[in-house]
Structure 1
Amino acid sequence: MRELILSLGALALASCAPLADLDSGTNDARPAVIQVTPATSVSQDDGGPLFWDDATRAKRFRAMEAYFAGQEVAAAANPRMLARGEPFDAATRGALDAYLGTNGTAGIMVLQDGKVRYENYALGMTPTDRWTSFSVAKSFTSTLLGAAIADGAIASVDDPVTRYVPGLADTAYDGVTVGQVATMTSGVAWDENYSDPDSDVAQMLAIAPVAGESQAVTYARTLSREAPAGEKWVYKTLETNLLGLIVEEAVDMSLAEYANLKLVEPAGFAGKLFWMQDLTGGSIGGCCLSLRLSDYARFGQFVLEGGEGVVPPGWFDESVTPTSEFGGGFGYGYQWWTYPVGYGAQGIFGQSITILPEQDMVIAIVSNWPKATGREFGQARLALAAQLVAAGAR
């Protein structure tokens, strides 16, 4: 097990916005990646962020590093400048402003041709504030999987997961491939009910740590199979946590450290990245990465441009080809959602990066929805994207 897995005892202590947005602090003497341990950690025993009240969410979503242990990555040595593009017409700006004023939206940035056509904030958020990602992080982890394959650390998505995480032997994941975990088609039974404090998703980070074993593996030992591997899609955050562990074991560094090399520097992030850790010191692959709004947009632009030199050629085309389809143009690939138009990353409480290749457009949104999920919220976001497609039509 990697050196990065910490002892339980140690853990218990546990835009181109204006040019100011580019004041990354990378000229100081600190390492590129540092450990962050809050003076008082927040317990996951009550389901954690899923069950915070609205005011607590609004406060903590912008400062998760003050409540949870994790690793912080310095901004890129050469942040990508985001030039200002032509503003949208008055009707489109009005629609964006209206969306910003609803459902706890904290910030919206729209890039087209790599230029900022819209940027605005609410809830007291500023261009230099970070905001947590929730499951938007899954698409970052998927990208790091691609990087590990490009580096030769992972041979193929067809490899068994036990090749990289031997602790998964004799669990429900024995015989499952890396690709089946990446597409959430392992056949392992799972409950992702965000409103139930006893659901798997609420309990997976509260399970008692076992010395020398990832918390993701410990929870995997409690699960059983409900279908043959590869035959049934069920959304499971644990599987992205396992995917992150697979990458960590393969490259022998944490996701945060690997992200420094493969995402922060190549995409030119202007601010620092924070990636939360579980109780065994591993980065949480399925959740809880924090960035500035502009850096979520920079990541989307990096993906739109193909991630040359980081992931294998055609990796993103493969990743966003749905392996599971739900009708109406919706589907799921390697930790990316596909939509009737475009594809994207999305997380509970209203975090999203929507990528529209035909318009060369990226839409980044951070929010504090009044509840974790809701069809009405998703429909409103898709309607906004459709309006932006029309406004940005070639």
Structure 2
Amino acid sequence: MKGIGLAAALVLAGVASAQSVTVTPDNAAKLRQVGAEVLFWSQAQRDQNFREMEKIFPGHVVKAGGKVRPLPAGKPLPIAEADVKAAMADLNVAGLIVVQDGKVRLERYGLGYGPEGRWTSFSVAKSFTSTLVGAAIRDGYIKSIDDPVTRYIPDLAGGGYDGVTVRQLLTMTSGVKWNEDYTDPKSDVARMFSDDVPAGQDPTVWYMKRLPRESAPGTKWVYKTGETNLIGVLVERATKKTLADYLTEKVWKPWGMERDAFWMTNAAGSEVSGCCLSVSLRDYARMGLFALSGGKGVVPDDWFAHATTNQVPLPKDEGGFGYGYQWWTVPGGRFAAIGIFGQSIMVDPAKKLVVVMSGSWPAATGEKLSVARAAFWGKVEAAADK
């Protein structure tokens, strides 16, 4: 699947390289270069740093509450241990958890990761960000996803986003031209935060406003991490709250997340909403359960029914996958949040099943790796019927 997690070159550029470092005009270019190098870390660096992003980059804390939603042990999943070990090795898995009917049926860790730690999400964060749009609609901060984006981000006016709706941002069908090629240093995903930004301008808005229109809004799907970053700007401006604070308020505390999460910030001090949320394995599973529950009382009653079903026609080379509101739809009535280097939350509503995998793949994406993950999902689902 092309574009399943794009993250680093786009979203990490412009952030500080250590906790004590502050972005200044003098060091900004160097820090952007350090951020972009995430895509090119060695395997040893990935294995180490994906569980310690808060030690490398600045960010905001998503705070857990005092009451934790329990995840009791369930009947052990009747899956061959050899299959589990093979998947852990072949997919370089750091964390694997299978929850069915709210109970843990399988849980494994590797690569120095454990229940007390956090692992980066890459584009899994997109599904968290879209959920905040639903919350903002229910809270009255956003009137409708059919509102024009420029109602909430007026400084986008006069560019390719004129006439584009919030819905079209959520479904990545704005019609604005975008290049998401990780290997091309001149692509939008590589340049978005590398260009100098005039003083007082939001870096995401400033870059996205300059992009040309290539098709009518709503007619063509193109995966654009930059548009998820715009969604973050939209939510932040509509609610007048940081994304971390709003996620704390709407999901983390009321849903009973167990541990604080960490959301990386860009040079402007805003969360990188298309990426870069670090969460514990069990709390990723709780997010899957939140989506499975429909998010009653947090998002509109029909939000997840729409967010997790295919909203747009995708190219044939996407392997039968579809796209909702920043969630991938998976053949067989399933849906998933997916990020590069092996991050995923897969939900099967019919089986009341959530499967989370945190990993450190040897490549950001790859057909063989994706096929191997899907095959393991299949083994888990077959075992879940027993």
TM-score by length of 1: 0.88
**Structure 2 partner of 1:187:** 175
**Structure 2 partner of 1:368:** 360
The correspondence of residues 326-345 of structure 1 with structure 2, limited to 5 A, is 326=314, 329-341=320-332, 342-345=334-337
SS at match of 2:122: coil
Shift of 1:59: 1.9
Mapped partners of 1:174, 1:64: distance in 2: 36
Which is worse superposed, 66-75 or 139-148? 66-75
**Structure 1 partner of 2:19:** 38
Q: Structure 1, residues 321-367: CA drift from partner, whole Å, max 9, x if none?
A: 21123356420010000011200000011100000001100011111
1:87 to 76, 101, 120: 76
**Structure 1 partner of 2:96:** 108
Aligned residues between the structures: 361
Shift of 1:386: 1.4
**Conserved 8 A contact 1:107-1:367:** yes
Mapped partners of 1:107, 1:143: distance in 2: 24
**Conserved 8 A contact 1:72-1:273:** yes
**Conserved 8 A contact 1:50-1:195:** no
Structure 1: which amino acid aligns with 2:323?
A: Y
Q: Structure 1, residues 46-101: CA drift from partner, whole Å, max 9, x if none?
A: 6242222222222221111122111012222211111001111142x432222111
Mapped partners of 2:231, 2:156: distance in 1: 12
2:60 to 63, 66, 71: 71
Residue segments in structure 2 that go unaligned for 5+ positions in a row: 1-13, 23-29
1:312 to 292, 297, 300: 300
Q: Structure 1 residue 279 and structure 2 residue 260: aligned? A: no
Structure 2: which amino acid aligns with 1:282?
A: S
**Conserved 8 A contact 2:345-2:357:** yes
SS at match of 2:85: helix
Q: Structure 1 residue 391 and structure 2 residue 380: aligned? A: no
Q: Structure 1, residues 131-185: CA drift from partner, whole Å, max 9, x if none?
A: 1101000000010000000101000010000000111011211211100000000
Q: Structure 1 residue 174 and structure 2 residue 165: aligned? A: no
Mapped partners of 1:102, 1:287: distance in 2: 25
Q: Structure 1 residue 202 and structure 2 residue 223: aligned? A: no
Q: Structure 1 residue 294 and structure 2 residue 313: aligned? A: no
**Conserved 8 A contact 2:68-2:258:** yes
Q: Structure 1, residues 270-318: CA drift from partner, whole Å, max 9, x if none?
A: 1111111111111111000000111101100111011111000011011
Q: Structure 1, residues 110-148: CA drift from partner, whole Å, max 9, x if none?
A: 100011001001111111111110100000001000000
TM-score by length of 2: 0.89
> 1:61 and 1:252, CA in 2 relative to 1: closer, same or farther beyond 3 A?
same
Mapped partners of 1:59, 1:159: distance in 2: 43
SS at match of 1:358: helix
SS at match of 2:90: coil
Mapped partners of 2:369, 2:204: distance in 1: 30
**Conserved 8 A contact 2:204-2:226:** yes
**Conserved 8 A contact 1:13-1:37:** no
**Conserved 8 A contact 2:192-2:204:** yes
Mapped partners of 1:189, 1:57: distance in 2: 31
Shift of 1:194: 2.0
**Structure 2 partner of 1:33:** none
**Structure 1 partner of 2:26:** none
Structure 2: which amino acid aligns with 1:304?
A: L
> 1:68 and 1:13, CA in 2 relative to 1: closer, same or farther beyond 3 A?
closer
Which is worse superposed, 345-354 or 37-46? 37-46
Structure 1 runs, 4 residues or longer, greater than 6 Å off: none
Structure 2: which amino acid aligns with 1:318?
A: H
SS at match of 1:135: helix
Mapped partners of 2:369, 2:49: distance in 1: 21
SS at match of 1:144: helix
**Structure 2 partner of 1:51:** 40
CA RMSD of aligned residues (A): 1.9
**Structure 1 partner of 2:130:** 142
**Conserved 8 A contact 2:78-2:384:** no
**Conserved 8 A contact 1:184-1:239:** yes
Q: Structure 1 residue 221 and structure 2 residue 209: aligned? A: yes
Which is worse superposed, 215-224 or 268-277? 215-224
